[in-house]
Structure 1
């Protein structure tokens, strides 16, 4: 009996020793696993975007109503979420973020038909072209749950909590569609009580002659007269307005660099608007053009953009980003032709009278503007595409150039040092007819009513 008890004690001791050894190995394994996960999250932010499913939670939140939606604390502003499956099944939320203060965000996906919520940690990618401002254009990227195709998403600072009061955003670009248009032009942002009415109408009519089918304008504000013109183009079906009240949320700078004007964000959040415009048109336009209302990309060897882009793509297979050289036509230098009396009372310059351009300053940065295949763009800036699938190509100046009618950059140059360039006059007959039609239905009609 004593021998059996002694033997039992040995077995119990061995059993306890086994438990101790197993516990030590198990906890060491868990610690190792945690360490590996931490390293993975540090080196590969996308690895942190794992999904979870709080099965009791159901979709909540209030539908977002505005183009710019600030989250609590005003350190994150949401524009629009877009589905992006070019690499992974991803929701890319275009936003504006304070680059120092915002370190963690979560996507709360609303799945149908069960209405359950899936939470995914975001990678926060502030664009490199921030130019010193504390707020910058940002991609808030979240992997989507494999088990559903979410229709809506809310953005939260935490992976848990009450989201009843959070805005809920529809995820755009969920379905692939055939391109309804070849060319969409993005103008961002219209601000400063914009009133260059004649030049705007001339630019719009040139865009139409060259082949644009949609013009998207991120509008902060403009004059009362300009509103009449925009209303005409909206009713015509060519213009779509995206309200852009950025100055209701942030202190905006008129300059592009922080040292010029130390505000929250540069140039009315122009870079964010351009990125939103690219993604907004990714499924509905073959090409997207990024330029301002006083700029026109003029083909020199082709009659329009369609034939020009066909030629460029043949010469550069697989390229989706084309950069066009900027040429300033000073509005201070006038040619006494096409002096149309009915245009003289309309605010803004008559571009047909400005056909002298400044020579390019060698070894100085010359900002270009862009035509892109939106499906190949990941992030864009104003004068270049920051990240894309494939290369960018600089279009030679003898192939096409940007006609940019504005105040001179080289104001001291005498007239004889400027280059006479009448490319614009190729379109003068159609342009004059079309501009007169718009003016008589907007500005001149309004003046007639007022004088009567």
Structure 2
């Protein structure tokens, strides 16, 4: 009996040792596999990313609460530049000065053909000449020829913030693994000869804009570094190979003025107008209400607009109130790139407005930032700056409130004999969803453009280091968003709601301005007669449905 008991204990001890050894083995294998993964991430994946000269940045909602990755490091100030030495020339860097004097400037070029790296050294004078047959533009989609995938560029800006100088190009390219491209920066050598240019070439640094839904193509930045003493080029071309003939030519927009900073000048950026947009009354309401609230300028992008809206906008263009840019991007919306490449448009408008306007609103045509206690947006910003510490504020975020169009019209519509007043959405739709969306969900913002590096749709993705967003409390202002139920159907109107007639403070002036403009454009732009105000047929039923609900006045 004792012998049997002793054998059983030995067997149990043996099994325990086996389990302990197996557990130890599993732990060792886990750490080994984990170590291999970390090793691969650090030494293989990161090396491939650097070798391609591409940085794809994946932001997060809390991205700008930690030190953001700089958009232009000191390291790239010397990448792939022409190598030349000569005496100083006024307002001109050494290389460009050498070229103007007819001296050869050499540039190391990696052989464009497959195979081992070439030792061939080219001079700028041996590269393809200035593309005189192309008219330079300050905003239009142009092809980068020779790319394996679709690659387009739209506009170019001189960026001089924090002393890190570059030409920043707005483009669209492959989201993952963009191709290497070069910047050919052109300098005019003679005012009397429109085709007399010399170039300076540098490899571009591509940064894919974060919001892309992981679609095949994305909006992007191309950064062309400038040396500390290098003048700003007149134009720039992007080529896939430094020896390729340029097929695009962008004017470098330089709004930088150190002596004159804009103060209390507000502008609006709108994403591309599409689907043959032709809602004349809506566009007039949007422009005139924002003008009443202190906006001076609007930037629109014409993907496809109808004849009436096109005529109206052209009149505002002629008066200097609107910039209207063509937007023919050869990428399939929502299949190849997100919503007509809207993030290229938003960031183009951001940089186009920089140093010209102190504050920029990035909103849609069915959205209005409405102050609760102030009449104008400049007054609102001043109020917020006095109420809160705004020393590091680069953007002001406003919570979204849905005014669903399926809800009934305000009672005032039935008492009006004015077709214009009855047709303005900010006056006839006063019922909104009670619960506001949190910041960064459906919210929109006003930003200080000189402090923003990358603009998003609902919030700023990247600021100049040391700046961030102020979340504006709803008792100061909210975003009025007039739309149908966002998920289709009519179930949204079952949500708790309240009546908010804050926009009524603009009623008289808004109706007068829109009526004047509509009558002015009626013949000029062939506008239709507006329908008469609705009759009070079902007003009693509507009032019964509204009874007992909270009202905000």
Q: TM-score range by the shorter chain?
A: 0.7 to 0.9
Report what 2:469 is aligned to: 392
In 2: Cα distance, 1:415 partner to 1:223 partner: 35
The root-mean-square deviation of aligned C-alpha atoms, in Å, is 3.1
In 2: Cα distance, 1:386 partner to 1:449 partner: 42
Greater Cα offset, 40-49 or 307-316: 40-49
In 2: Cα distance, 1:40 partner to 1:438 partner: 54
Residue correspondence of structure 1 range 82-121 to structure 2 within 5 A: 82-87=157-162, 88-100=164-176, 102-113=178-189, 115-121=197-203
Mapped contact 1:180–1:284 kept (Cα < 8 A) = no
1:438 lines up with 2:530 in the alignment: no
In 1: Cα distance, 2:458 partner to 2:154 partner: 22
Match of 2:517, SS state, is helix
Equivalent of residue 150 in structure 2, options 75, 79, 89: 75
Report what 2:299 is aligned to: 216
- Alpha carbons of 1:126 and 1:436: their partners in 2 closer, same or farther (altered >3 Å)? same
Greater Cα offset, 400-409 or 376-385: 400-409
- Alpha carbons of 1:415 and 1:436: their partners in 2 closer, same or farther (altered >3 Å)? farther
Cα displacement string for residues 302-328 of structure 1 (whole angstroms, at most 9, x for unaligned residues): 111111112223421231111111111
Mapped contact 1:112–1:148 kept (Cα < 8 A) = no
Report what 1:18 is aligned to: none
Report what 2:125 is aligned to: 56
Report what 1:204 is aligned to: 287
- Alpha carbons of 1:42 and 1:353: their partners in 2 closer, same or farther (altered >3 Å)? closer
- Alpha carbons of 1:415 and 1:129: their partners in 2 closer, same or farther (altered >3 Å)? closer
Shift of 1:102: 2.5
Report what 1:136 is aligned to: 218
- Alpha carbons of 1:174 and 1:153: their partners in 2 closer, same or farther (altered >3 Å)? farther
Cα displacement string for residues 376-422 of structure 1 (whole angstroms, at most 9, x for unaligned residues): 01011101111112111111111101111111348435579311101
Mapped contact 2:440–2:459 kept (Cα < 8 A) = no
Greater Cα offset, 369-378 or 351-360: 351-360
Shift of 1:207: 0.3
- Alpha carbons of 1:414 and 1:275: their partners in 2 closer, same or farther (altered >3 Å)? closer
In 1: Cα distance, 2:460 partner to 2:261 partner: 24
Report what 1:317 is aligned to: 391
Mapped contact 1:135–1:264 kept (Cα < 8 A) = yes
Mapped contact 1:201–1:435 kept (Cα < 8 A) = yes
- Alpha carbons of 1:345 and 1:147: their partners in 2 closer, same or farther (altered >3 Å)? closer
1:172 lines up with 2:253 in the alignment: yes
Mapped contact 1:194–1:223 kept (Cα < 8 A) = yes
In 1: Cα distance, 2:206 partner to 2:51 partner: 18
Report what 2:368 is aligned to: 296
Greater Cα offset, 69-78 or 84-93: 69-78
Equivalent of residue 478 in structure 2, options 391, 395, 401: 401
In 2: Cα distance, 1:126 partner to 1:252 partner: 17
Cα displacement string for residues 254-287 of structure 1 (whole angstroms, at most 9, x for unaligned residues): xxxxxxxxx1111111111000000001021111
Mapped contact 1:49–1:142 kept (Cα < 8 A) = no
1:233 lines up with 2:316 in the alignment: yes
In 1: Cα distance, 2:421 partner to 2:431 partner: 23
- Alpha carbons of 1:360 and 1:449: their partners in 2 closer, same or farther (altered >3 Å)? closer
Mapped contact 2:143–2:248 kept (Cα < 8 A) = no
- Alpha carbons of 1:180 and 1:419: their partners in 2 closer, same or farther (altered >3 Å)? same
1:183 lines up with 2:266 in the alignment: yes
In 1: Cα distance, 2:495 partner to 2:187 partner: 66
Shift of 1:111: 2.9
Report what 1:151 is aligned to: 234
Match of 2:403, SS state, is strand
Report what 2:118 is aligned to: none
Greater Cα offset, 144-153 or 130-139: 144-153
Mapped contact 2:156–2:252 kept (Cα < 8 A) = yes
Equivalent of residue 382 in structure 1, options 454, 457, 461: 457
Report what 1:426 is aligned to: 505
- Alpha carbons of 1:361 and 1:185: their partners in 2 closer, same or farther (altered >3 Å)? closer
Match of 1:188, SS state, is coil
Q: TM-score, normalised by structure 1?
A: 0.80
In 2: Cα distance, 1:124 partner to 1:445 partner: 45
Unaligned runs of 5+ in 1: 1-34, 254-262
Q: TM-score, normalised by structure 2?
A: 0.66
Match of 1:351, SS state, is helix
Match of 1:189, SS state, is coil
1:251 lines up with 2:324 in the alignment: no
In 1: Cα distance, 2:158 partner to 2:527 partner: 49
In 2: Cα distance, 1:170 partner to 1:42 partner: 24
Paired residues, number: 400
Mapped contact 2:54–2:205 kept (Cα < 8 A) = no
Cα displacement string for residues 113-172 of structure 1 (whole angstroms, at most 9, x for unaligned residues): 48432211111100121112111111101212444432221111123x143x43222211
In 2: Cα distance, 1:195 partner to 1:40 partner: 44
Shift of 1:89: 1.5
Report what 1:8 is aligned to: none
- Alpha carbons of 1:153 and 1:414: their partners in 2 closer, same or farther (altered >3 Å)? closer
Shift of 1:98: 1.1
Greater Cα offset, 361-370 or 327-336: 361-370
Mapped contact 2:154–2:250 kept (Cα < 8 A) = no
Equivalent of residue 342 in structure 2, options 266, 270, 276: 270
